[in-house]
């Protein structure tokens, strides 16, 4: 289809440029922002929104990994979207 073979050693950044399709990172950020918009418009008593704002009572004590909340804060910056907060 796009004449890209594994033996060509094409980078992940070159593939979207050659095919004219958005990158996987772009698609994930777009889906994430869309879900966040739905979440913000939900009423406070809905289960997804209460789960988003809830905290676990005890942690596993290991190193911190990225939470969904952390990616939500980074995604507007990646898409050059201005936020008030």
Give 43's pLDDT tier (boundaries 50, 70, 90).
very high
Going 34 to 37 to 42 to 48, the CA torsion angle's sign is positive
Q: Which are the contacts of 77, defined by CB distance < 8 A and separation ≥ 6?
A: none
Mean pLDDT, range 25-34, rounded to an integer: 88
List, for residues 51-83, the tens digit of each pLDDT value. Answer: 887 777 776 666 777 777 777 777 777 677 766
| Tokens found for residue 84 | 């008030």
Percentage of the chain lying above the pLDDT 70 cut: 75
At residue 85, the pLDDT reads 57
- How far is it, in rounded angstroms, from Cα 59 to Cα 27? 31
């Amino acid at each position: 289809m796009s004449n890209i073979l594994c033996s060509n050693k094409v980078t992940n950044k070159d593939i979207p440029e050659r095919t004219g399709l958005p990158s996987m990172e772009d698609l994930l950020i777009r889906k994430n922002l869309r879900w966040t918009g739905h979440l913000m418009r939900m009423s406070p008593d809905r289960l997804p929104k209460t789960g988003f704002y809830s905290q676990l009572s005890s942690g596993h004590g290991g190193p911190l990994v990225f939470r969904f909340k952390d990616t939500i804060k980074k995604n507007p910056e990646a898409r050059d979207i201005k936020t008030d907060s």
